[in-house]
Amino acid sequence: DGEVTADMVDEIARKHFPMCMRSLHETLRADRHLKHAGRLQFTLFLKAMGVSVEEAIVFWRKGYGQSMTDDKFNKEYKYNIRHSYGLEGKRADYPAMNCQRIITQNGPGPGETHGCPFCHHSIDNLTSSLTSVYRITAQADLMEIQRAVKDGFYHVACTRVFEITHAERGVKKGEGLGAGESVAHPNKYVARSRELEK
Ligand code: SF4
């Protein structure tokens, strides 16, 4: 898909992010901070989306804004970003987390926003994000998503959100990300959504 610059992330988030990443992005914007697990989940996602390490550093520096000095950012945070890109420490090329990993990792504690909203948020919070952020208001749609969540089929709920929010792009119920594929990776969600916009 080509390089994604730091400046492009806001618009891509608004139009194309799955709920897990949208929630992290909004928390970073509102609090000017994300706790460690959220930073890791989000950094690896952005990397897989095509954000270079240089642009990731610009993105995070701007994201923290005045809440952090340059000195603190350079000493503590830049290293972690570079580490996620396999440029520090043991230089491992860490893959972005798939839904399975995000859902089964330690869930968010107080003040944390990582994880999967379908699994880790209360039904009330989830429903309010579905209506306010994703503009899903039809009762039948909301009930269907809530039912999938209650049954523990988080990826089914996420796939249904994708279908509903991409109906105007011609996506029909049951089609998922294409040919009935359900959401199993947030990077596949964002890639398919961006592809449909073309
Ligand atoms: Fe993110 Fe996957 Fe959960 Fe969807 S099902 S919100 S892509 S972790």
Tens digit of pLDDT for each residue in 22-73?
A: 999 999 999 999 999 999 999 999 999 999 999 999 999 999 998 899 999 9
Q: Whose CA is closest to 16, among 27, 34, 4, 28?
A: 4
How far, in Å, is the centroid of ligand 1 from the Cα of 158? Answer: 6
Q: Please give the average per-residue pLDDT across 163-187, as a whole number.
A: 97
Q: What are phi and psi of 112, to 5 degrees?
A: -110, 150
Mutate to test the pocket of ligand 1, among 44, 118, 130 (most ligand atoms within 8 A of CB): 118
Q: Whose CA is closest to 5, among 42, 51, 49, 44?
A: 51
Beta bridge partners of 176: 181
Ligand 1 atom with the smallest distance to the CA of 158 is 4
Residue 68: which residues within 8 A CB-CB, separation 6 or more? 32, 77
Q: Please give the average per-residue pLDDT across 2-17, as a whole number.
A: 96
Q: Which residue has 């139009």 as its token pair?
A: 15
Cα–Cα dist 64/135, whole Å: 28
95 within 8 A of 44, measured Cβ to Cβ: yes
The ipTM estimated for the assembled molecules is 0.99
145 lines ligand 1 (CB under 6 A): no
